[in-house]
Chains A and B, each alone.
Chain A
Amino acid sequence: MDLLLLFAILTSAYVAMAALGLSMDKHFEQVFGTEPKAFYQRLLQSAGWLYLLLTLWFCIQGWQLAIGFVVWFGTLTLMQGSFALLLTYQQRLTSVLLWAAVPLATLSAVLLWTSGFKSD
């Protein structure tokens, strides 16, 4: 299995879960100390859904349709749990990782796209 692909689904699944989580008033306040502006909330929500789909696209490209869905669900489970744990024990890290993961996930998407998902 391709390491770049694995990296891509991990980062993009994290972006999806973290953005969706932080778009909720409760968690946004927990991390940033203020209520989210409507614009930010929208932005986080859209990013969350977008990267959720991006993750699915990675999974289907890497594992075909049927197995791809299974990998997608499993990866999201892992990342939902990881994000929830970070939110409880390392709140600041959630946003730091989110800013780091967005460009990394996007970059790996571009790399995978240009290489046509071939592992060699």
Chain B
Amino acid sequence: MKASFRQSMTWLHTWTGLVVGWVLFFVFVTGTASYATQEITRWMQPERPMQSLLVPDAATQFDMAYQQLRSLPQSQQAQSWTVNLASDARNSSALSASWTAAPEPGERRGPTETLYMDTSSGQPIELAEPVRETAGGRALLRMHYALHYIPADTAILIVGLCTMLMLVAIVTGVVAHKKIIKDFFTYRQQKGLRSWLDAHNLISVSALPFYLMITYSGLLFFLYSYMPLAVPLTYGFEPENRDAYYSELMTQTGSGRVLGLGGGGGGPRQAQTEQGGRSGREGRSVRPLPLGQQAEQFTDLSALVAQTEELWGKGQIRSVTITPAARGQAAQLQITPAYADTIRRSRGAGTLSFNAQTAQAIAASPADVAAAEVFGSSMLGLHEGLFADSWLRWLYLVSGLLGCAMIATGLVLWTVKRRPKLAKTGEYEAGHQLVEKLNVATIAGLSFGLAAYFWANRLIPADLAGRQQWEIHSLFLAWGALALYSFSRPVFIAWRDSLSLAAAAFLLLPLLNALTTERHLGQTLWQQDWALASVDLVFILLGLMLGWAAVKVQRKLGQTKHNTATRNRTATVASAEVL
């Protein structure tokens, strides 16, 4: 038992932080990258067209794509047509027409094909090469909660356990921080342990609301995995008991989906398959006309698009989706806004629906949801930040990076604090060594692995089958190789070399990009494709930060060498005098 409450909390903070720090660093790094999922994927598919410089009004753009959808033979049998309009909004760099085929038996979604359009000529863009398959930003997104190489269910439990301990570490950290107000802006440089502590405190305090939110809300995503007995103990252990609970929950919350079932946040699996089965049965009995034929009966859709743009303002429409009449439902035209105006995680919020034949507006079902549902979906929404515009997205990225830095400084702090004591007593125990080495292997190693992920994207042949998997393997291979290296070298040398290597890998990425693609900074900045350019610029920034850290280590290494050298010299002089 510790002497005071604060000391107990400090102890708890130190040890929970250490135990889960390495996993959390991985989760935070990949999670932070996930705030740029779409931008990363776009960078990893350099064949896709650049930002359209000319952005005509919504109806004109819609017409260009709609004509293609109506005339192309491949799109006639599709289950839905989607037109993504070019605008300043996120992931709306180019006008495109895409069509989704009916799902194969056993699949949830059919394959989608996309045609990019030139907004000036209204003709499809002939891509020089087909768009490469890539693991993209989505793989990083998935890794931050489901890890990789181990079953997702286990991984989710591991990450969940670490997240719970993270929440403990945050709360105890606030208690342990003696001068949280007085040191709100304090960083004292070049004071050894003091500086590390200041840095850790400052970084931890600066985005504290974000850390609390992200950790707490992170736990809500897999609510039922972490509390597997909560529902069965009340409702019973049979699958139908669970479904009874789900339907009761959905009636009471007034929501169409159940929160806490995982990343996708869809309705309960049972309900979905049931729906799928029903549509399949009815689909066989009364086969609806293909979308291409139904379109002959459609009203003037572009008038509806124009009318909506009038209502919302220019550049405010993200996409237009057309679904055929089926299962007694009329064919629909759905218009989705480019920007969200709610923090809630609610897919299709703000979407306007029209009957595609009569042009009549289809009223959305009244959104009368319970407070618990509003709270839950707001937390999940805050976690994902899908509502964030470009400025807020940068802020999310900064906060995420600060989170990575908080964990990294905390891990290093643990070793810095114990180093002098150990050096004095002479016992440099194995546990301490292990922590030092794991720190290098995780912090510098993962940074290098991440850079390798992007290198692999450019170096693996664009038409290689299964190249997505190899991109991910490259991340872990590079990480593993650097980890092995850092385990075999003295700690400071390992830090210097790994950090330098990671810095070089990031700094050279824009160059590699320029050598292998037409989407380098010279092009993207010239064409004002800021989203694509910013990916390269962030690589440079990360490289500079890692390089700065490497220089710091090198200086420290020089100092220690110098000190030892002087000490040795004085020792020699002293012994010579004695002799």
Contacts and interface: CB of A to CB of B under 8 A. Distances in A.
Given A67-B343, A84-B202, A75 B395 contact: yes
Interface stretch (B61-69, B359-367, B385-393, B498-506): B385-393
Chain A contact residues: over half helix, strand or loop, or mixed?
helix
Interface stretch (B113-121, B184-192, B507-515): B184-192
Given A64-B341, A66-B343, A67-B392, A74 B185 contact: no
Contact of B387 (A26, A67, A78, A84): A67
Interface in A64-114: 64, 66-67, 70-71, 73-75, 77-78, 80-81, 83-85, 87-89
Contacts of A74: 210, 392, 395-396, 398-399
B210 A26 contact: no
A24 interface: yes
A27 B185 contact: yes
B321 interface: no
B206 interface: yes
Contacts, number: 75
A1 B385 CA distance: 17
Interface string B350-387: 00000000000000000000000000001000100101
A4 interface: no
Interface in A35-89: 63-64, 66-67, 70-71, 73-75, 77-78, 80-81, 83-85, 87-89
27 contacts: A1-B391, A26-B186, A27-B186, A63-B389, A63-B392, A66-B342, A66-B343, A67-B343, A67-B387, A71-B392, A71-B395, A73-B209, A74-B210, A74-B395, A74-B399, A75-B395, A77-B209, A77-B398, A77-B399, A80-B185, A80-B206, A81-B202, A81-B206, A83-B185, A84-B206, A85-B187, A87-B185
A87 B392 contact: no
Interface string B236-270: 00000000000000000000000000000000000
Given A24-B182, A77-B402, 20 more contacts: A21-B184, A21-B185, A24-B185, A27-B186, A63-B389, A63-B392, A67-B392, A70-B343, A71-B391, A71-B392, A74-B210, A74-B392, A77-B209, A77-B399, A78-B395, A80-B205, A80-B206, A81-B206, A84-B206, A87-B187
Contacts of A89: 189
Interface size class of B (residues with CB under 8 A): 20 to 34
Interface in B317-350: 340-343
Interface string B183-201: 0111111000000000000
Contacts of A24: 182, 185
Given A66-B342, A80-B206, A6 B185 contact: no
Contacts of B398: 74, 77-78
Nearest to B207: A77
A73 B185 contact: no
Interface string A4-30: 001000000000010001001011000
A81 B402 contact: yes
Interface of A: 1, 6, 17, 21, 24, 26-27, 63-64, 66-67, 70-71, 73-75, 77-78, 80-81, 83-85, 87-89
A61 to B, nearest CB: 14
A67 B342 CA distance: 7
A66 to B, nearest CB: 5
B386 to A, nearest CB: 11
Contacts of A83: 185
Contacts of B187: 84-85, 87-88
Contact of A88 (B189, B343, B385): B189
A70 B392 contact: yes
A64 B387 CA distance: 12
Contacts of A73: 209-210
Nearest to B344: A66
Contacts of B210: 73-74, 77
A66 B395 contact: no
A26 B182 contact: yes
A1 B189 CA distance: 37
Contacts of A21: 184-185
A114 B440 CA distance: 55
B518 to A, nearest CB: 29
Given A67-B343, A67-B387, A77 B206 contact: yes
A110 B495 CA distance: 51
A4 to B, nearest CB: 13
A81 B207 CA distance: 9
Contacts of A75: 395
A27 B188 CA distance: 12
A70 B391 contact: no
Interface in B12-45: none
Contacts of B188: 88
A27 B209 CA distance: 24
B484 to A, nearest CB: 35
Contacts of B186: 26-27, 84, 87
The 8 closest A-B pairs by CB, nearest first: A74-B395, A21-B185, A84-B185, A66-B343, A77-B207, A88-B187, A81-B206, A73-B209
In this complex, the member of A1, A6, A70 whose beta carbon has the largest number of chain B beta carbons within 10 angstroms is A70
A84 B186 CA distance: 6
A65 B207 CA distance: 20
Contacts of A80: 184-185, 205-206
A13 to B, nearest CB: 11
Contacts of B209: 73, 77
Nearest to A65: B343
Nearest to B189: A88
Contacts of A85: 187
B382 A70 contact: yes
A89 to B, nearest CB: 8
A77 B184 CA distance: 11
Nearest to B313: A120
Contacts of A78: 395, 398
A85 B206 CA distance: 12
Contact of A77 (B341, B389, B395): B395
B389 A1 contact: yes
Contacts of A77: 206-207, 209-210, 395, 398-399, 402
Contacts of B341: 64, 67
Nearest to A78: B398
